[in-house]
Amino acid sequence: MAFRHPAAFLLGLEGLALHRAFAGEFDESFVAARLAETRAILAADERGELGAGDHVGETDTVSGYRVWARTYDEPGNPLIDVEQPIVHGILRALPTGRALDAACGTGRHAAFLAAAGHTVVGVDSSPDMLARARAAAPRAAFVDGDLHELPLPDASVDLVTCALALTHVPALEPVFAEFARVLRPGGHLVTSDIHWQSLYLGGIASTVDDAGVEARLPASRFRPSAYVAAALAAGFAVRGCHEPLWPRSDAGGGPFARKWAAAAVDAAYANTPAAVIWHFRR
């Protein structure tokens, strides 16, 4: 169970900003401003203005996405805004065929693939996300299933996509082995996920249920080398890798962090990868 404290989060952002200044990215006035802001945050915490710390438990993906499915596709998800154009750019360049959208979620990539002429099957373990996917992509077929045991025959698809889901698994190797099993020789695999560095900027997905209880979804910290190792072991070759950065945004970090430490937030997010997107070929 994780323990969160609002002052600790703000001070962590200030620390990241100051480390970047120490590395030569900012000047003396920036450092002075961050130190003054740090003192102000500590004083506000002493006055009880930031709120108390709390413990946050974990939930499984089926329970978590039961809640998140209601709002997942609402406009303004910054990770999707960064990830989707790159994934769709890769997919546009691939020949049409039979495609699997693994951990398809609300079906946003399945709908794109079906519109491009692919025959699409989407697989997800969340009934609530599957219901959204069926509405979003009526030309695709959707079935319940797990990444570790995909409900498809061997060598039955030409393309596999898996978007913003692999962080939820404890190990990549079994999942990549399943991707290789269902792909035909020469088939393509396109994956995306939140970048492990951004998990430390508050990027771990969490949900709040109807009783107001917050819980975090599983979030493994896979570095790029872990994806490469799992892919090579499963017989894939690397075709491309993208690590797009967070764009500058006046809303970045959320309203609480921006109220107390906007400049530190901007410094912490600057030049930080938002996602890691891979193109492999079997």
pLDDT in tens, 133-150: 999 999 999 999 999 999
Compute the distance between CA of residue 169 and CA of residue 162 in angstroms, rounded to an integer.
12
pLDDT of res. 26? 96
Compute the distance between CA of residue 266 and CA of residue 154 in angstroms, rounded to an integer.
47
Task: Look up the CATH number of domain 59-264+273-281.
Answer: 3.40.50.150
Ranges of each domain in the chain: 2-54, 59-264+273-281
| Among the listed residues 163, 121, 166, the one whose alpha carbon sits nearest the alpha carbon of residue 148 | 166
- Give the chain's residues under pLDDT 50: none
Assign residue 82 a region (left: φ > 0; alpha: ψ between -120 and 50; beta: otherwise): alpha
SS3 280: strand
Backbone φ, ψ for residue 101 (5° rounding): -100, 100
Compute the distance between CA of residue 189 and CA of residue 281 in angstroms, rounded to an integer.
6
Asked if 212 contacts 54 with a C-beta cutoff of 8 angstroms, the reply is no
Beta bridge partners of 277: 192, 242
Q: What is the pTM of this model?
A: 0.94
| Among the listed residues 193, 195, 209, the one whose alpha carbon sits nearest the alpha carbon of residue 128 | 209
pLDDT of res. 6? 96
Average pLDDT for the chain:
95
Q: Give tens-digit pLDDT for 87-112.
A: 999 999 999 999 999 999 999 999 99
pLDDT of res. 213? 81
Asked if 130 contacts 142 with a C-beta cutoff of 8 angstroms, the reply is yes
pLDDT of res. 109? 98
Q: Give tens-digit pLDDT for 63-80.
A: 888 888 888 877 778 999
| Among the listed residues 232, 263, 276, 225, the one whose alpha carbon sits nearest the alpha carbon of residue 16 | 263
Backbone φ, ψ for residue 126 (5° rounding): -100, 115
